[in-house]
Amino acid sequence: MLPKLQYISQGATAQQQLEHIRKVLDIGCIWVQVRFKNQEEHAVLDLAEKVRLLCDRYGALLIVNDHVAIAKAIAADGVHLGLSDTAIAVARDALGVEKIIGGTANTLEDVRRRITEGCDYIGLGPYRFTTTKEKLSPVLGLEGYRQLLSALNEEEQRVPVYAIGGILKEDIAPLLKVGVYGIAASGLLIQTPERVESIMQ
């Protein structure tokens, strides 16, 4: 059973990334995705190794954005792959069946494709405009999630779908109500003093 909340790391430097990750682990988050874009591979590896130690200390899951080889090298719990990243089948061959492989989706067609590819969960978004993503797809809004999840139910497609993209605390209850499995968040978790349990109520 996957946790209902995933933190997607942010920060321009490794130090900022580590500070933010430590903060969200302190408030009870037990699932971290290391996302360190536009960096040399050795810098991502160095950060991921440090985060692996932190997550082990807190008993948290760790997945790596994009970098399958780094996820394998540090014995991460899995990877998250964008639509133009490494193919899911290639990542599965490299990491094995027991690892978590998540995939990004923006449309119903994307979600169907991700299910066919064998993703363990889907990060569907964006919910609203967000500054953490450089190439933003059209925003879905609550109604977009409602329509898409309704279509999946009719097709009897069963995969955990996480809402992502500019989500605030007040968005979480309505999103869970329309049927998302969980939330993937970045700024929300850095800026809140609250524990994860109260954020997700």
Contact 52, 62 (CB under 8 A): yes
H/E run at residue 101: strand 100-105
CB atoms within 10 A of CB 41: 10
Closest CA to 35 of 52, 48, 53: 48
Q: Give CA–CA dist 161/180, Å, rounded.
A: 5
For residue 149, is it left (φ>0), alpha (ψ between -120 and 50) or beta? alpha
Q: Please say if the pLDDT value at position 117 is more than 90.
A: yes
pLDDT in tens, 160-178: 999 999 999 999 999 999 9
Contact 85, 66 (CB under 8 A): yes
pLDDT score of 134: 63
pLDDT in tens, 70-101: 999 999 999 999 999 999 999 999 999 999 99
For residue 166, is it left (φ>0), alpha (ψ between -120 and 50) or beta? left
pLDDT in tens, 42-76: 999 999 999 999 999 999 999 999 999 999 999 99
Q: Give CA–CA dist 65/71, Å, rounded.
A: 9
Q: How many domains does the chain have?
A: 1
Domain range spanning residue 77?
5-199
Give the CATH number, domain containing residue 74. Answer: 3.20.20.70
Q: Give CA–CA dist 201/198, Å, rounded.
A: 5
**Residue with token string 């990334």:** 17
Q: Please say if the pLDDT value at position 130 is more than 90.
A: no
Closest CA to 65 of 84, 57, 56, 53: 84
Q: Please say if the pLDDT value at position 106 is more than 80.
A: yes
3-state secondary structure of 166: coil
Cis geometry, peptide bond prior to residue 193 (ω within 30 degrees of 0):
no
pLDDT score of 105: 97
**Residue with token string 């009719």:** 154
Range 6-23 average pLDDT: 98
